[in-house]
Structure 1
Amino acid sequence: MRVLGVDPGLTRCGVGVVEGLPGRQLTMLGVGVVRTPPGDDLGPRLLAVERGLEEWLDRYSPELVAVERVFAQHNVRTVMGTAQASAVAVLCATRRGIPVTLHTPSEVKAAVTGSGRADKAQVTTMVTRLLRLDAPPKPADAADALALAICHIWRGGTTNRLTAAIRAHESGKWHSGGGGRSQGRGELREAEDVAEQDPPEQQAVAPRAAYGRVPGWSRSSSRP
């Protein structure tokens, strides 16, 4: 599975491509930032983001795109720019027929570090370890984009497989002719078994078990 993670932003839009499967070693294929000048008008900046993302889609041909879900912030101007860049990312992927999934920041943090309250430094540290990078990806937008891709591979892999099996079964795509048994039922059962054996909640805490405690994180700090 090859996933393009997009950390949307109008001034800096983080992008990162990760390849792998749930429970397997992940590989970073590329990481970077699409930048636009803060002083330019909105239209040209959005166009620059679109062109930059199109280049990444052309270069890496991802199977899926994971975008951070935008939440309201105190700075309305900032959140508006983030939402606009997010819409551009969704548009670019959808135009090519590439599935898009939105992940919340806390969901990404939990998947990568084991704690939904991890800070950016902790996320960057775990991304560096999980992808076996020689140095932490910079700036933080780039690291966040890789974290989004990792999150989707780990948390979205079995879910996507189960959903695809259900849809194919309901549409009769796998039904054999001549009144024979439906092959779709077997595929559906297999997908359900995978989801039961390796649910997203288990995948989310896997990094901490495999790589040790996240720097600066403790069980007490995760309590409300």
Structure 2
Amino acid sequence: MPTHDLLLSIAFKAELKQSRRLIKAGEFTEERALQRVLQKQAGEAGLDALIQQRQVIGQKRIAASALRQQQKSESSLRRQASASDDAMTDGRSWQAWFDGSAHPNPGKIGIGGVLISPDGQRIEISQRMPDGDNNEAEFHALQSVLIRALELGVDQLRVWGDSRVVIDAINNAAHGVASAGMQKQNSTVPHFPSGILQNHFLQSLALASKFKELHLQWIPREKNVIADALSQAAILENF
């Protein structure tokens, strides 16, 4: 006999309402009431056939929802790339997004990144990294995006991420963008209490200095959906 949780997952709202009426009338227990309603709905085909049919419907709904979310994310990504208030306009700059996640925190790290060329070429990064915390994950993600861009010969890059810790640290240690590269501010270089994070920060800063032009900008997490999804996928694939 199917479990009550399974029946709850495949029942429609009207069927749940019918089962509640039976329970209220005192005729059946909660579990038996739902079984009766669904068995009646299944008819001669039987309850197992109804469950299988409903599960297929559920899978189609999930797939359709995922497709809509992907389309929405890609549309958002294109808007971010084209509507930036200070985007470089010489036709040679690339756009990039990064995100890192740790589950639990600290725990398994997954990183995600997206790079888009001026002509629309798209490169995705989704990778597991050594265990650590969320800040380590974010530094790993930024470094992976910067390394991939350098491997492609990119010298002008605009980067978005939802980690204020990482972006503020790099921006506070570098003064905007200059033709000779990122210049250090007169202010003190940020110092992290964790030696691991300090090393990540210095490695990221060294990579950033290799670009002719580099802009780093913070965005809310809900506008970083593709990089976030890629980081989550990297973790799930390795559980």
Same-fold call, TM > 0.5?
A: no
* TM-score, structure 2 as length reference: 0.30
* TM-score, structure 1 as length reference: 0.31
Q: Whose relative contact order is higher, 1 or 2, with alpha carbons under 8 Å and at least 6 apart?
A: 1
